[in-house]
């Protein structure tokens, strides 16, 4: 059961304290009253007080002096001053200096004072919640950094031996091609393809680590985007032709040159184009198109593939997430490519979205900003 919020009233006149206490007698509050500053400070040291309401004119320690010390003891408590009209300027100064949240003049309106107290309790709860969220955020950031460091160490240690295995496989195939049986050559092909898959997975892990740690650096410059897209189309046509898939490229001439990191956007294009081929049936088509507005350039990649159900669309850009639809020729996927694509595009102050329908294919849209 949640503990009742605690409120402290400080005034040297007991009749005022009694009237304040009566005002909240039917509310689920824990009310403390005190007639002097030192005793009130002792209450603060031993209780989590949500709201402090203090008179200003008191013998010995006045209200402002008390609230200054109260702020050091319980900085999250909401501090309110009761004041007469002649002391309003002092209360305003205390607000400006951060000692007081607000002031209430005597005689007070009961409904107004009640609203102020309960609003201040909500403010206190929100402050505590924000502090707790800040602590959790710091903890999660630390754990994420530890995870990224571990991924980095593992990936670097694995990539070198895998590269050697791939090189030895290619050397064996080159030197023993005529001496090996078809079955033995298939073993070599499997070894090379599995090693290549692992190297790509490691490279993707390193990309995710770099992006999540905020270390994605972009070497941006004005780039001939038409030439870049055409090169990616030509590169992916090799895989497409093996499945009898054609990639068609069109654009609205003239296309301005955006300021981008050529290698990173090439990585985005190759990922999306290879996915379009992976998830398309033999004999189908893929369309790549560049269009523009006054301030933006858009690259769309549309396929006639299997399409995705609505539940996949909300998660496909998350790391290590694979959709329910499988590649048409058993191609492998790491579940990292689209997460990296999204981060790279957003690193360019751009955006990426997807439209898809089961049985009717998928279209990805990359939007990049044009120079002013």
Residue 163: inside a domain = yes
Residue 118: inside a domain = no
Q: What is the pLDDT of residue 322?
A: 64
Asked if 30 and 94 sit in the same domain, the reply is: yes
Q: How far apart are CA 124 and CA 286, in angstroms?
A: 57
Residue 294: inside a domain = yes
Q: Which of 53, 87, 108 is the last residue of a domain?
A: 108
Q: How far apart are CA 122 and CA 7, in angstroms?
A: 12
Q: Average pLDDT across each block of 10 residues of the chain; the chain has 372 residues. List them in order.
A: 86 92 90 94 94 90 90 93 77 79 87 92 93 90 76 69 78 82 82 74 70 76 94 87 91 90 90 89 93 92 90 81 61 69 91 91 94 80
CATH of the domain at 68: 3.40.50.2300
Q: What is the pLDDT of residue 86?
A: 59
The pairing of strands 78-83 and 51-55 is parallel
Q: What is the pLDDT of residue 230?
A: 94
Asked if 316 and 197 sit in the same domain, the reply is: no
Asked if 230 and 364 sit in the same domain, the reply is: yes
Q: What is the pLDDT of residue 339?
A: 84
Residue 130: inside a domain = no
Asked if 174 and 258 sit in the same domain, the reply is: no
Residue 123: inside a domain = no
Asked if 287 and 207 sit in the same domain, the reply is: no
Asked if 24 and 94 sit in the same domain, the reply is: yes
CATH of the domain at 344: 3.30.565.10
Q: Which of 152, 182, 212 is the last residue of a domain?
A: 212
Token output for 63: 């209200």
Residue 225: inside a domain = yes
Asked if 242 and 283 sit in the same domain, the reply is: yes
Q: What is the pLDDT of residue 237?
A: 87
DSSP state at residue 99: S
Q: Which domain holds residue 178?
A: 141-212
Asked if 365 and 237 sit in the same domain, the reply is: yes
DSSP state at residue 326: P
**Counted domains in the chain:** 3
Asked if 195 and 227 sit in the same domain, the reply is: no
Residue 172: inside a domain = yes
pTM of the predicted model as reported, rounded to 2 decimal places: 0.54
Write the DSSP string, 163-190: HHHHHHHHHHHHHHTTTS-HHHHHHHHH
Asked if 147 and 207 sit in the same domain, the reply is: yes
Partnered with residue 253 across adjacent β-strands are: none
Asked if 245 and 187 sit in the same domain, the reply is: no
Residue 362: inside a domain = yes
């Amino acid at each position: 059961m949640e503990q009742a919020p605690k409120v402290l009233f400080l005034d040297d006149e007991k009749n005022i304290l009694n009237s304040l206490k009566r005002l909240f007698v039917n509310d689920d509050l824990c009310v403390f009253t005190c007639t002097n500053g030192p005793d009130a400070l002792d209450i603060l040291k031993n209780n989590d007080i949500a709201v402090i309401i203090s008179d200003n004119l008191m013998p010995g320690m006045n209200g402002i002096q008390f609230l200054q010390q109260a702020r050091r003891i319980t900085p999250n408590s909401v501090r309110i001053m009761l004041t007469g009209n002649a002391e309003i300027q002092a209360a305003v100064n205390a607000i400006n200096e951060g000692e007081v949240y607000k002031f209430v003049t005597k005689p007070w309106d009961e409904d107004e004072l009640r609203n102020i107290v309960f609003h201040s309790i909500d403010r206190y709860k929100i402050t505590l919640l924000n502090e707790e969220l800040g602590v959790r955020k710091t903890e999660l950031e630390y754990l994420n950094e530890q995870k990224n460091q571990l991924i980095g160490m593992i990936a670097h240690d694995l990539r070198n031996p895998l590269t050697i295995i791939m090189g030895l496989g290619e050397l064996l195939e080159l030197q023993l091609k005529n001496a090996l049986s078809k079955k033995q050559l298939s073993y070599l092909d499997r070894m090379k393809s599995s090693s290549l898959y692992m190297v790509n997975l490691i490279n993707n892990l390193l990309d995710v680590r770099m992006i999540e740690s905020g270390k994605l650096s972009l070497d941006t410059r004005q780039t001939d985007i038409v030439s870049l897209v055409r090169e990616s189309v030509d590169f992916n046509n090799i895989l497409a032709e093996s499945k009898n898939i054609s990639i068609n490229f069109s654009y609205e001439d003239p296309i301005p040159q955006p300021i981008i990191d050529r290698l990173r956007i090439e990585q985005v294009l190759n990922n999306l184009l290879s996915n379009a081929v992976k998830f398309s049936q033999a004999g189908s088509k893929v369309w790549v198109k560049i269009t523009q507005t006054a301030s933006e350039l858009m690259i769309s990649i549309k396929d006639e593939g299997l399409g995705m159900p609505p539940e996949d669309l909300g998660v496909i850009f998350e790391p290590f997430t694979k959709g329910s639809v499988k590649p048409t020729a058993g191609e492998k996927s790491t579940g990292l490519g689209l997460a990296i694509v999204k981060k790279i595009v957003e690193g360019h102050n751009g955006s990426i979205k997807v439209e898809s329908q089961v049985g009717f294919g998928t279209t990805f849209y990359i939007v990049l900003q044009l120079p002013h």
